[in-house]
Amino acid sequence: MKENHKRDGNGRYLDGVDTVFTGSNVLRSFDVARGQLGAFSAPSLLEVGAERQRLFVANFDGTGNHAGTDTDHITNIGRIAGAIAGSGDSRVAQAYVNGPGTDGSAPKRLADNAWGISHDERVRRMYEMFAEKAEEWLRSDPKADIRVLVTGFSRGAEEAASFTRMLHERGVEIETDSGRLRLREGGSIPQAVVLYDPVGTGHPRAHDRRLPPSVVSGIQIVAADERRTQFPSSTIIRRGISRDGRFLGVTVPGSHSDVGGSYHTDGLARATEALVSDYINSLTEDGFVSRPELSRLVADYDMHKSEQHQPFYTTGAFERLGTRDTRGAEAHPSHCRLVDDCAPPEPADVALLERMGPTHPARWVKHRSTLSVAKSPSSRRRYPRMSTMSRRSKPLAPRRRVLTSGVASWIRRHRGRTTISPSVRRLKSATTKSIFRSSHPSGSKGIPPAPPTPTTATTPSTNPSTTSSTPSTPRRASP
């Protein structure tokens, strides 16, 4: 697909709508989300050395998104599908279903964009691909232990939830000359889900999208700053950690596609992808999804005004409520703000959970590309805190302030201590100079001085040029 967006003065593509500067207070939400992920535990779907385990990853893209034809606007779902396809693990297979509104004639695409009328068709298409792969695995090894990870964005997240119910009800069924043959019973295949900002506007709401008992783990990420009335959030997984510990719901800054991806200015999408990468890799003992590199330029984390994409979008509900509207996951759901209980997931299958074994923290995963780095406890914070942003009087460039690294922040807090490891001592000179002194030629502003060495009192000099002054404290970030 041809890129139709214009470029700005710096040669970067624009996204067709205005953007809003986020700032450190908004970005701090990612620190909260990372803390929630660190307190959450997940089971292992794929263990090292378990030759009979198989993992099928089902990816449902969002409305208007097609990773195969629009490579300039790939969502996080398309990136997950590409990463898993190139993982090289013969025990893992993946399938990708493009989003609603990307197939058929122009009238059909228009109706599908508006109402998501292809919901059932896309769920069936994914199930057929899964059943075909499962049959192949079972014919080569009748005792193969099949597990499933389902991901989705926008209406694709609604399709992902519907797929989990279909898989729970059918198990593994294939078509034969004599009818349908069931190779695995329903409810016997453990599933996990990743839901990027589910939106069920239109036909998806006619379906029951509550997660079934065979879903042993899952995470839902909600865009806090989506203002469009036509995009209420579907509460498939409620905020926080569920009572049974299976699910985690987090809210992050940004509009709908700031969370799910597809914009050119995609810092928020990459930060969200980093959270999901940690979770997905925690489901396997040998993680196969690489965590993205996060930009240190604050301008890359601007939020988009998604209501400007179409003239018929309205924001009345957001302005009236002061926050985003939410709907339940049951068929024909009510507004979650008007009822106490908005159809939570169905109770867990205790026997299936026991079969999965113990859970483990969903954070700080060993990635294949960073195994040697991950072994060092001091290197666990490999990416900067989103909220620690340098607000200097002389930024490097307009709206291009620098995010300080976690290592540098650690050095600032511990400066002056007598015991510092050799690795941190080496980083002290390299990191501190590159981050703080790059924007301060004097090389001292913003860096707390070491505690003064006790000396004997001396008579102060009357010469103004030699009069000592109290060391200044580091300047706090303005709100």
What is the DSSP code string of 233-281? EE-SS-SEE-TTS-EEEEEESS-HHHHHB--SS-HHHHHHHHHHHHHHH
CB-CB neighbours of 88 under 10 Å: 8
CA distance 234 to 254: 16
What would the mean pLDDT of 336-362 be, rounded to a whole number?
Answer: 81
Summarised one tens digit per residue, pLDDT across range 96-125 is 999 999 999 999 999 999 999 999 999 999
Tell me what the pLDDT averaged over the chain comes to: 78
How much is the pLDDT for 436?
39
Q: Band the pLDDT of 321: cuts 50, 70, 90.
A: confident
Q: Which helix (H) or strand (E) holds 166?
A: helix 155-170
How far, in whole angstroms, is CA 15 from its chain's centroid? 21
Is the separation of the CB atoms in 360 and 41 below 8 Å? yes
Measured over the CA atoms of residue 403, residue 407, residue 411 and residue 414, the dihedral's sign is positive
Tell me if 412 sits within 8 A of 404, measured CB to CB. Answer: no
- Say how far apart CA 257 and CA 309 lie, in whole Å: 12
DSSP element (H, E) containing 54: strand 53-60
| 3-state SS class at 56 | strand
> How high is the pLDDT of residue 402?
41
Provide the total of helices (H) and of strands (E) in the chain, helices listed first: 12, 15
> Domain 24-361, CATH 1.10.3210 — does that match?
no
DSSP 49: T
E strand or H helix at 354:
helix 350-356
Q: What pLDDT, on a 0 to 100 scale, did the predictor assign at position 7?
A: 66
> At which residue do the structure tokens 């195994």 appear?
371
CA-wise closest residue to 63 among 211, 214, 257, 226 = 257
The one-letter code for the residue type at 337 is R
Comparing 162-166, 203-207, 231-235, 335-339, the range with the smallest average pLDDT is: 335-339
Radius of gyration for the chain, computed over Cα atoms and rounded to the nearest angstrom: 25
Give the number of other Cβ atoms within 10 Å of residue 348's Cβ. 19
pTM over 0.85, yes/no: no
Q: In this structure, what token pair is assigned to residue 57?
A: 């990853």
Q: Which residues contact 57 (CB under 8 A, 6 or more apart)?
A: 80, 81, 84, 92, 93, 94, 95, 148, 149, 150, 151
Angle (CA) 54 58 64, round 5°: 165
| Residue type at 435 in one-letter notation | I
Sign of torsion over alpha carbons 198, 203, 208, 214? negative
pLDDT at residue 179, rounded to an integer: 85
* CB within 8 Å of 399: residues ≥ 6 apart: 21, 298, 299
In the structure, what pLDDT confidence band is assigned to residue 297 with cuts at 50, 70 and 90? confident
**What is the three-class DSSP state of 32?**
helix
Cα–Cα distances (Å) from 355 to 164, 216, 358, in that order, read 19, 11, 9
Say if residue 243's pLDDT is above 60: yes
Per-residue pLDDT tens for 162-198?
Answer: 999 999 999 999 988 888 899 999 999 999 999 999 9
- Give the CB-side neighbour count of residue 455, counting CA atoms within 13 A: 6
**Which residues pair with residue 180 across a beta bridge?**
175
Token pair of 324, please?
């985003």
| Nearest in space to 391 (alpha carbons), one of 407, 381, 408, 404 | 404
The pLDDT, as a whole number, for residue 12 is 67
